[in-house]
Homo-oligomer: A and B are copies of this chain.
Amino acid sequence: MNISAAAQLASLPPKTIRYYEDIDLVRPGRLDNGYRDYSESDVHRLRFLQRSRSLGFTIEECRLLLSLYDDDHRASADVKAIANAKILEVDRKIAELQGLKTTLSALARDCHGDDRPECPIMDDLAGHHEQ
């Protein structure tokens, strides 16, 4: 499959996909005419990248996550430890999004749609969980 089909499936611009190849995150095959040729599994990687990047993971974090699947030489114990660490991070992000949603919902609820609300929501703006 060519790059724009892959782009469609992965919800990523072709430019970004080429960039991911430059930095060795994905290694599509090439056709005789020089066109990149993406397999199903390449598209899976790309979708994974799209998802985790849009959720605030850095490229290097994504590379690490992908390496969990790639690296046959990595000890399983390492894989497990890294995966568990990332799960905690994901849980934290979910909690933060839920806090954000609470803030936004309060704002939407308090807006009658015709006048400016009193909104002391600013107090809540930053969430209340200490870290």
Q: Contact residues of A with B, CB < 8 Å?
A: 10-11, 41, 43-48, 51-56, 65, 68-69, 72, 76-77, 79-80, 83-84, 86-87, 90-91, 93-94, 96-101, 104-105, 107-108, 111-117, 119, 121-123, 125-127, 131
Contact = CB atoms under 8 A, between A and B. Distances in A.
A74 B68 CA distance: 48
- How many protomers of this protein does the assembly include? 2
A126 B44 contact: yes
B86 A90 contact: no
B114 A76 contact: yes
Given A44-B126, A90-B97, A99-B51, A77 B108 contact: no
Contacts of A126: 10, 43-48, 51
Contacts of A10: 126
A80 to B, nearest CB: 4
User: Max chain B CB contacts within 10 Å: which of A84, A100, A119?
Assistant: A100
